[in-house]
Structure 1
Amino acid sequence: MAGPEVFLPEGFAQVERKRALCRQYGMEPSARQGDFLKYEGGDKFTFGTMISRHNEELMDASDIVIANLTPFRGVSADPGTVYELGYMVARGAKAFGYTNTARPYATRVAEDHYGGDTRTAETGRLVGPDGLMIENHEMIDNLMIDGGIARSGGFVIRHEAPPKARLTDLTAYEACLARIAETLLGR
Structure 2
Amino acid sequence: MPQPRSPRPRVYLAGPDIFFRDCERRYEALKARCERLDLEGIAPSDGGLGADFSGSDDERARRICEGNVALIRQADGVIANLMNFRGLEPDSGTVFEVGFAVALGKPVVVYGVPAGSYASRVCAAVPCTQDAAGVTRERDSGVMVEGLGQRLNLMLACSTSIEPTAEAALARLAKMLRADRRSPMAPLSDGEAG
Same fold (TM over 0.5): yes
Between the aligned residues of both structures, percent identity stands at 32
1:29 and 1:14 map into 2 onto residues whose CA distance is 12
In the alignment, what sits opposite 2:131?
121
Which residue, 163, 179, 183 being the options, matches 1:157? Answer: 163
1:12 and 1:49 map into 2 onto residues whose CA distance is 22
Which residue, 77, 94, 99 being the options, matches 2:90? Answer: 77
Matches within 5 A, 1:38-187: 38=50, 40-112=53-125, 114=126, 117-129=127-139, 130-149=141-160, 155-158=161-164, 172-185=165-178
| 1:34 to partner: Cα distance | 1.8
Q: Which amino acid aligns with 2:137?
A: V
In the alignment, what sits opposite 1:4?
16
Unaligned 5+ segments in structure 1 are 150-154, 159-171
- How many residue pairs are counted as aligned between the two chains? 165
| 1:89 to partner: Cα distance | 0.5
User: Would you say the 8 A contact 2:79–2:110 is kept in 1?
Assistant: yes
Larger radius of gyration: 2
In the alignment, what sits opposite 1:166?
none
TM-score, scaled relative to structure 1: 0.81
User: Would you say the 8 A contact 1:76–1:105 is kept in 2?
Assistant: no
1:99 and 1:21 map into 2 onto residues whose CA distance is 16
Matched, 1:27 2:20: no
2:115 and 2:46 map into 1 onto residues whose CA distance is 28
2:176 and 2:62 map into 1 onto residues whose CA distance is 36
| 1:94 to partner: Cα distance | 1.1
In the alignment, what sits opposite 1:165?
none
RMSD: 1.8
More helix by share: 1
Deviation per residue, 1:133-172 (Å, 9 max, x gap): 00112222211111222xxxxx1013xxxxxxxxxxxxx0
